[in-house]
């Protein structure tokens, strides 16, 4: 039958999506009725998925294949999804070297680190409305980007949080951790700030009279937030966190939730 | 560091390709069930496992990293907001089709030309496909594609990644339509046969 022969010939093009609407519809209808064409289609269609797989981007840029989408995309996506989801049970963690109580939260928060940093990159964009110096914003943004995209940094963070020789300063709901030139705010039970507000970190540079604004962040639904404070912790005399409007502030507009003096 | 078990399975994809790939395929349906139960960890695991495929297809078709990211975001948001849209079968084939069709929509809105949406698999075949090709990675497929005769590879890639019809392929190349049709079929068969040899039992 003519139609059968035509359809049979078209099966390859059909499988790869190279038929126009009416022709594709004709093939679809015919497949319902024809075993021989179904058998042929069955032979051809797995190769189409293989073809699609050939386009898969690679993590390894050196292989010459295309790069993967940015970490920013994932962070944006996960923010939307988490905002939409009901409260989740905390993820199971299989960490052997556990610090009492706080450590399980860190393992979850390590994944949030990138999100916390990245959300503050967005907030930095908003904070241009309140007139922070462009150079300061650019420096903070690029540092945050560098931190967010580096898994080495995440490993370093986890190492610092766990290291016995890190300095730890307990605060309500978490702690500030310092090791060499790196400082972190690590909250395990921080309440969600009111709508339209975020937490903002500050540090006091040695010799300065006012607090320098740093990253803004929000805890996840379990109250966990871990942020690495950009900058050299060796020149920081103190670190503070206060609640500020989304986008951050140039100076604290509220009494700090805590201030930690580095000894 | 990564929380939650499913993500660990993707962590070493580079080193344990076969094992990770088979796990990935088995997990996708289970992960989707958990996404339907609104578990964000399961959604994250799906993203980690499949975002490169979605992005790769979109980037290849659109030649635009930003547009490819938009497609990727759209596909995964759709998975989260309407998880019933995939119930069973070969997840890889399904998500590849969604990625291609969405990219095609963008191509169409740019310049009125393309028509071809990828068809759905015949339901009976999906489990078979899944098992047969679970352990094949992108590098092996690219290799096999490169080894296809050019006359077969070109119409296949044009049809799939440029979204143009086989009539248009024939017109542009000056090769008779009937010949193009045959070459597409032969090329697809050959690709499958080449990779059949590389499939683990």
Q: If DSSP states are collapsed to H, E and C, what string results for A124-193?
A: HHHHHHHCCCHHHHHHHHHHHHHHHHCHHHHHHHHHHHHCCCCEEEEECCEEEEEECCEEEEEECCCCCC
The reported pLDDT for the residue numbered A4 is: 93
Our CA-based measurement puts residue B86 at a distance from the nearest CA of chain A, in whole angstroms, of 16
Nearest one of B30, B27, B8, B21 to B83, comparing CA atoms: B30
> Taking a C-beta distance cutoff of 8 angstroms, is the pair A200, A248 a contact?
yes
Q: Which comes out higher in pLDDT, residue A142 or B63?
A: B63
**Interchain contact, A57 vs B92, CB within 8 Å:** no
Q: CB-hemisphere CA count at 13 Å for A146?
A: 9
In the structure encoding, which two tokens stand for residue A214, read together? 């740093």
In this model, does residue B143 exceed pLDDT 60?
Answer: yes
Mean pLDDT of B72-89: 91
Which of A9, A16, A155 has the highest number of chain B CBs within 10 A, making it the mutation to test binding with B?
A16
In the structure encoding, which two tokens stand for residue A176, read together? 């500030």
Indicate the average pLDDT of chain A: 75
ipTM of the modeled complex: 0.79
Mean pLDDT of B27-50: 90
The reported pLDDT for the residue numbered A145 is: 52
Q: Which comes out higher in pLDDT, residue A123 or A43?
A: A43
Nearest to A81 among B80, B90, B118 (CB): B80
pLDDT interval class at A165 (50, 70, 90): confident
Nearest to B90 among A49, A65, A111 (CB): A49
CA distances for A199 relative to A113, A152, A193, A260, B160, angstroms: 14, 26, 7, 15, 48
Which of A9, A59, A69, A88 has the highest number of chain B CBs within 10 A, making it the mutation to test binding with B?
A69
Mean pLDDT is lowest, of A148-157, A206-215, B33-42, for A148-157
In this model, does residue A206 exceed pLDDT 80?
Answer: yes
pLDDT interval class at A100 (50, 70, 90): very low
pLDDT interval class at A128 (50, 70, 90): very low
Write out chain B residues lying below 8 Å of A10, CB-based.
Answer: 166, 181
Nearest to B116 among A17, A47, A86 (CB): A17
SS3 B120: coil
pLDDT interval class at B70 (50, 70, 90): very high
The reported pLDDT for the residue numbered B47 is: 93
The reported pLDDT for the residue numbered B132 is: 56
The reported pLDDT for the residue numbered A62 is: 43
The chain B residue lying nearest A23, using CA atoms, is B116
In this model, does residue B2 exceed pLDDT 50?
Answer: no
In this model, does residue A28 exceed pLDDT 60?
Answer: yes
Q: Say whether pTM exceeds 0.80.
A: no
The reported pLDDT for the residue numbered A118 is: 36
Write out chain A residues lying below 8 Å of B156, CB-based.
Answer: 16, 51
In this model, does residue A166 exceed pLDDT 80?
Answer: yes
Read off the pLDDT of residues A208-261 as tens digits, 9 standing for 90 and up: 888 999 988 888 776 778 888 989 999 999 999 999 998 888 888 888 889 999
The reported pLDDT for the residue numbered B133 is: 59
In this model, does residue B178 exceed pLDDT 90?
Answer: yes
**Whole-angstrom Cα distance, residue B50 to residue A108?**
22
CA distances for A242 relative to A171, A193, A203, A213, A230, angstroms: 13, 10, 11, 10, 17
Nearest to B56 among A57, A63, A73 (CB): A57
Mean pLDDT of A140-148: 50
Indicate the average pLDDT of chain B: 80
Write out chain A residues lying below 8 Å of B169, CB-based.
Answer: 18
The reported pLDDT for the residue numbered A5 is: 94
Mean pLDDT is lowest, of A5-14, A31-40, A94-103, B137-146, for A94-103
Read off the pLDDT of residues A51-69 as tens digits, 9 standing for 90 and up: 999 998 765 444 444 567 8
**Interchain contact, B73 vs A59, CB within 8 Å:** no
Mean pLDDT of A195-207: 90
The reported pLDDT for the residue numbered A161 is: 78
pLDDT interval class at A38 (50, 70, 90): very high
The reported pLDDT for the residue numbered A67 is: 65
The reported pLDDT for the residue numbered A233 is: 94
Mean pLDDT is lowest, of A168-172, B54-58, B153-157, for A168-172
In this model, does residue A11 exceed pLDDT 90?
Answer: yes
In this model, does residue B21 exceed pLDDT 50?
Answer: no
């Amino acid at each position: 039958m003519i139609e059968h022969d035509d359809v049979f010939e078209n099966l390859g093009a059909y499988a790869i999506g190279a038929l126009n609407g009416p022709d594709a519809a004709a093939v679809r209808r015919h497949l319902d009725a024809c075993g021989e064409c179904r058998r042929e289609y069955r032979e051809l269609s797995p190769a189409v998925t293989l073809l699609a797989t050939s386009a898969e981007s690679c993590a390894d840029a050196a292989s010459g294949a295309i790069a993967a989408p940015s970490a920013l995309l994932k962070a944006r996506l996960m923010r939307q999804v988490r905002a939409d989801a009901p409260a989740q049970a905390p993820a199971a963690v299989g960490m052997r070297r556990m610090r009492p109580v706080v450590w399980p939260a860190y393992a979850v928060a390590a994944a949030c680190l990138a999100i916390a940093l990245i959300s503050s990159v967005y907030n930095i964009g908003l904070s241009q409305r309140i007139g922070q110096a462009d150079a300061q914003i650019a420096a903070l943004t690029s540092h945050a980007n560098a931190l967010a995209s580096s898994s080495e940094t995440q490993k370093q963070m986890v190492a610092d949080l766990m290291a016995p020789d890190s300095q730890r300063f307990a605060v309500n709901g978490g702690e500030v951790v310092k090791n060499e030139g790196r400082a972190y705010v690590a909250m395990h039970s921080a309440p969600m700030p009111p709508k339209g507000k975020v937490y903002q970190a500050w540090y006091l540079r040695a010799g300065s009279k006012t607090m320098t604004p740093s990253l803004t962040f929000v805890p996840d639904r379990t109250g966990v937030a871990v942020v690495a404070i950009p900058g050299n912790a060796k020149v920081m005399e103190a670190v503070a966190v206060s609640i500020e409007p989304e986008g951050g502030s140039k100076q604290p507009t509220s009494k700090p939730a805590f201030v930690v003096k580095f000894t | 560091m990564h929380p939650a078990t499913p993500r660990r399975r993707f962590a070493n994809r580079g080193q344990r390709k076969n094992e990770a790939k088979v796990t990935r395929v088995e997990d996708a349906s289970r992960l989707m069930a958990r996404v339907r139960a609104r578990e964000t960890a399961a959604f994250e695991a799906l993203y980690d496992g499949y975002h490169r495929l979605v992005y790769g297809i979109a980037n290849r078709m659109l030649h635009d990293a930003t547009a490819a990211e938009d497609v990727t975001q759209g596909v995964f948001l759709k998975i989260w907001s309407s998880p019933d849209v995939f119930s069973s079968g070969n997840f890889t084939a399904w998500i590849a089709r969604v990625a291609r069709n969405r990219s095609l929509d963008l191509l169409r809105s740019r310049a009125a030309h393309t028509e071809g949406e990828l068809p759905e698999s015949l339901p009976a075949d999906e489990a078979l496909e899944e098992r047969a090709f679970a352990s094949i990675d992108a590098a092996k497929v690219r290799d096999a594609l490169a080894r296809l005769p050019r006359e077969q590879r070109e119409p296949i890639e044009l049809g799939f990644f440029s979204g143009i019809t086989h009539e248009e392929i024939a017109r542009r190349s000056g090769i008779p339509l009937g010949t193009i049709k045959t070459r597409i079929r032969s090329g697809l068969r050959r690709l499958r046969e080449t990779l059949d040899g590389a499939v683990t039992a």
